[in-house]
Amino acid sequence: MSELPRSSNKDISVRVLSKSLRSGRVGHAYLFSSGSLEQIESIAIDFAQRLLCENPLSGPMPSEPGNPCGQCRNCRNVANRTHVDVHWVRPESKSRVILLDQMRDLMGEIYLKPTESNCKVAIVVAADRLNPESANAFLKTLEEPPPRSVLLLLTTEPSRVLETIRSRCLRLTFDDCADLLASADAIETVRTFAELIERGRRRLMDRYGLLSLLLGRLASIKRDTEAALLERSPLSRYEEPDPRVRAQWEDDLEASVEAEYRRQRAQLLLAIQWWFRDVWLATVKTPDLGLALPSLSSTTFAVASRVTPEEALANVEVLEKAQRQLASNVQELLVLEVALLHLRA
C-alpha cells in the first residue's frame, strides 16, 4: 500500500506545462490554483520567463525549449515584475476585489502588440476576487484571446471563480495531499475527527461533538492568523500614523485575515474530505488503494465496513457542497452543522 497516490496534482501540473512548452502548444488561458498565492505567483513568473527568455538553456533535444537562463533582460524584468509585456492585476480596492476598470486596462494592454518579446502575458492574482462586472467583461477576451498572448489566472479558492471563467481555462492544481496535511495540527484534527466518526456512529449528540471539534479548531486558526498578520502589518511598527493611513492599514489587515482564514478553513475541510475519500476507496476495495492517510487506515476501514459505497461517496459530496456554500458567504455555523448532520457514517 503506497503512502500517497503515485502522481500528485503538483507533479501532473508541472508535466502538463513542460509538455506544452516542448510541443510549442501553449494554451491561451490557464487557471493555476494552490493553497499559497506566493507559490503560484512564483510558478507564474517561472512560466513567463520560459516563454520570454532570450537565451534559454539547452533542452533535452536541440529543438526543445529548456530552462530560462535567469540572466537575460527579459528574465530579470519578469522576475522583478517590470517587464513591459507582462501585465499584473491584483485586488487593490478597499473591498479587496478586482474592479472593472482594472480589467479594462488589462485588456487594452493585451490587445496591443508585444513591445520587447514574442508574446504578451497577463497574470491575474486572486482571480476569485473578480467581481461580477469585471469577470463578465473578461469573458470575451478568454473566448477570443488576441494572438501571441497567454492569460494566467491565479487563485487559492478555485471554487469561488465563476464557472464561466473556469470552463475557458486549462485548470492546473499545484497542491497535493501532502501539502494539505503538512502541519501536525491538521493531521491531529483529521485524526480526532475520524476517531469520533468511528466511535460515534450516527447519534445526534455525536454529530454536535464533531461540530464542536471543528469550531474549536477554526477559532484557533482565526486567532493565530490575526496574531501572525498583525505582527507583519505596519500597524505593529508605527504607533501614531496619519488617521487616514491607519484606516487603510486596518482595512488591509482585516481583508488579509479574512482571506487567510478562509484559505486555511478550506484546506482543513479538504483534508477531512481526503479522509472520506479514503473511506470510499476502502468500500469499493480498489486494488493498490493509495490511501492519502495510511496512518489512519484502521479507522478508515472500520468506518468503511459499516457504510455502502454509495453512502461513502455521498459523504465526499457533502464536504464538497459545504465548501461551495462557504465560498459563497453562507453562514459558517449553519453550513457546518447541516453538513455534519447529513454525514452517513
Across 276-293, average pLDDT: 81
Q: Is the pLDDT of residue 175 over 70?
A: no
Query: Is the pLDDT higher at 172 or at 179?
Result: 172
pLDDT (0 to 100) of residue 2: 30
Instruction: Round the average pLDDT of the chain to a whole number and report it.
Output: 83
Q: Is residue 217 within 8 Å of 188, Cβ to Cβ? A: no
With cut-offs at 50, 70 and 90, classify the pLDDT of residue 105: very high
Q: Who wins on pLDDT, 203 or 99?
A: 99
Q: Which residue has the higher pLDDT, 38 or 15?
A: 38
Q: Which amino acid, residue 28?
A: H
**Is 3 part of any domain?**
no
Write the CA distances from 93 to 26, 100, 101, 138, 154, integer angstroms.
32, 11, 11, 18, 18
SS3 content of the chain, % helix, strand, coil (to 5): 60, 10, 30
Residue 274 sits at the vertex; the CA angle it makes with 159 and 261, to the nearest 5 degrees, is: 50
The last residue of a domain, from among 175, 203, 220? 175
- Residue length, the chain? 345
126/332 Cα distance (integer angstroms) = 22
Same domain, 163 and 187: no
Residue 211: inside a domain:
yes
Q: Answer whether residue 322 shows pLDDT above 70.
A: yes
Residue 240 lies in a domain: yes
Q: Which triple of cell numbers denotes residue 91?
A: 485586488
User: What are all long-range contacts of 71-78, with beta carbons under 8 Å and residues at least 24 apart?
Assistant: 73/116, 74/49, 74/116, 74/117, 75/49, 78/45, 78/48, 78/49, 78/52
- On the question of pLDDT at 160 being above 60, the answer is yes
Q: What is the DSSP letter of 85?
A: T
Q: Mark whether 262 and 123 lie in a shared domain.
A: no
Share of the chain above pLDDT 90, in %: 38
pLDDT digits (tens, 9 = 90+) for 122-133: 999 999 889 889
- Tell me whether residue 2 is in a domain: no
Per-residue pLDDT at 305 = 92
Q: Are residues 132 and 269 in the same domain?
A: no
User: For residue 98, is it within any domain?
Assistant: yes
> 130 and 187, same structural domain?
no
Which pLDDT does position 289 carry in this prediction? 66
How many domains, the chain? 2
pLDDT of residue 93: 60
Torsion-angle region of 282 (φ positive above 0: left; ψ -120 to 50: alpha; else: beta): alpha
Distances (CA, A) of 316 to 155, 188, 215, 342: 23, 20, 20, 11
pLDDT at 95: 65
At CA 257, angle to CA 331 and CA 129, rounded to 5? 70
Query: pLDDT per residue over 52-94, tens digit each?
Result: 988 887 554 333 445 788 889 999 999 998 999 999 998 876 5
Note whether 187 and 145 are same-domain residues.
no
Query: Hey, which bits of 85-162 come out as E strands?
Result: 86-89, 120-124, 149-155
Single residue among 175, 209, 230 that ends a domain in this structure: 175
| Residue 4 domain flag | no
| Same structural domain, 164 and 37 | yes
CA-based nearest residue to 180, from 80, 281, 64, 269? 269
Domain that holds residue 70: 9-175
324 plus 202 within the same structural domain: yes
In a domain, 1, yes or no: no
Q: Are residues 120 and 216 in the same domain?
A: no
**What is the pLDDT at residue 5?**
38
- 237-256 residue pLDDT tens: 787 888 888 887 887 788 77
Instruction: Tell me, yes or no, whether 59 and 151 share the same domain.
Output: yes
Give the H or E element holding residue 255: helix 243-284
- What is the reported pLDDT for 150? 93
Assess if residue 323 is contained within a domain: yes
Residue 176: C-alpha distances to residues 8, 84, 99, 280 (Å): 5, 34, 31, 19
Q: Of 175, 197, 226, which residue is a domain's last?
A: 175
pLDDT at site 252 = 76
Higher per-residue confidence, 213 vs 267: 213
**Residue 77 belongs to domain with CATH number:** 3.40.50.300
Domain match, 61 and 154 both = yes
Whether 16 and 132 map to the same domain: the answer is yes
pTM for this prediction: 0.59
**Rounded distance, CA 138 to CA 165, Å?**
8
Which pLDDT does position 220 carry in this prediction?
A: 93
For the sheet containing 86-89, what is the strand order?
86-89, 120-124, 149-155, 29-33, 170-173
> Domain check: are 110 and 147 in the same one?
yes
Give the per-residue pLDDT at 134. Answer: 92
